[in-house]
Amino acid sequence: MEYCKLGKTDISVSSIGVGTMLWLPNRNLSKDDLFKTYQKCIDNGLDFFDTAEIYGNGTSEKLLGEFMKKDGRKVKIATKFAPPSRMNPLTQKRKNVSKEDPAALMEALDGSLERLGVDCIDLYQVHMPPRNGRISEYMDVMAQAVKEGKVRAVGVCNFSKVQIEEAYKALKNHNIPLATVMAGYNVIRRYPESNGIMDVCRELGITLIPYAPLAEGTLTGKYRSGDRKVPLQYIVTSYFGHLDLTKERNDNVPFIRRLFSKPREVDVKRMEPLMAVMDEIAKCHDKSIAQVALNWLLSADDIHILPIPGIKSIKQADDNAGVAGWRLSKEERIRINHIEEQTR
């Protein structure tokens, strides 16, 4: 396994993270299954686990805390605070302060610390831009949390370029770096390349953490044959992004055209030329298509990228660990980028 630093901090983590959003035990996925997956991740050198207070209303954090205590090996934890936002207007109420108050961050942090069973969180992130626009005040509270020893590093998620810059400047006043920016980014979701997010990460030395790096399974190739249908939930969220309701696009495609067209990621026929090229490259390296998709992120040569694919099985833990220790060639990246552009 390869390891890297979070931004300009001294925190070293595995170059592939572990997303735990779906760590919600059910009839098809037991707590024991998830614990074995957790152990396999660590066995493979994957020591960076990402969770959030809103994942299962705290269930993911509780499980992660339970697994850490049971296993005993040291890992790095990232979790998130969700302020009321345009993306998540129904965020939970706080006990001691208004949920609109930046001080709610500290209350949420204390809740996460308790569920995780730790005294300090390695990376604490603001999950979404606050709808009240008080980014600098939230960063002041983050700085307080760092100074109190409850947080080691600070990150933001789903922020625009301007919002990232505001958060960075507010933290800089406390001599604290903005370590990470989390954004949707993968082979077919390329908005950070044109909306300024990657530019600001390069300029300020911030690590980019792509969520949904495998496009919810689309980039594993499992839907190519048509035997497995793209899940309805992913179709809905794909249209959400396709219509630019998240305001992350930076193109001139008219809204009416997007409204009456199908998102590429759920169009199996449209995706096939790209999947075929990635499959061919995968076979040359004796790797899977998913490993090629993740390595495409790792092999960017001018920015530090740390993908966090969701892992909920031993097989996925093995497959994702196989992304480290090799790199796509520049020619292979050019091939992937060329065919991706042709399928837009």
pLDDT in tens, the chain (344 residues): 899 999 999 999 999 999 999 898 887 889 999 999 999 999 999 999 999 999 999 999 999 999 999 999 999 999 999 998 776 655 667 777 877 899 999 999 999 999 999 999 999 999 999 988 899 999 999 999 999 999 999 999 999 999 999 999 999 999 999 999 999 999 999 999 999 999 999 999 999 999 999 988 889 988 887 777 777 676 777 766 666 666 777 777 777 777 667 777 778 888 999 999 999 999 999 999 999 999 999 998 889 999 999 999 999 999 999 999 999 999 999 999 999 999 88
Active site (annotated) includes residue 55: yes
* SS3 sequence of the chain: CCEEECCCCCCEEECCCEECCCCCCECCECHHHHHHHHHHHHHCCCCEEECCCCHHHHHHHHHHHHHHHHHCCCCEEEEEECCCCCCCCCCCCCCCCCCCCCCHHHHHHHHHHHHHCCCCEEEEEECCCCCCCCHHHHHHHHHHHHHCCCEEEEEEECCCHHHHHHHHHHHHCCCCCEEEEEEECECCECHHHCCCHHHHHHHHCCEEEEECCCHHHHHHCCCCCCCCCCCHHHHHHHHHHHCCCCCCCCCCCCHHHHHCCCCHHHCHHHHHHHHHHHHHHHHHHCCCHHHHHHHHHHCCCCCCECCCCECCCHHHHHHHHCCCCCCCCHHHHHHHHHHHHHCC
For the chain, the domains span 3-214+290-326
pTM of structure = 0.91
Tell me the CATH class for 3-214+290-326. Answer: alpha beta
> Among 38, 55, 185, 191, which one carries the catalytic annotation?
55
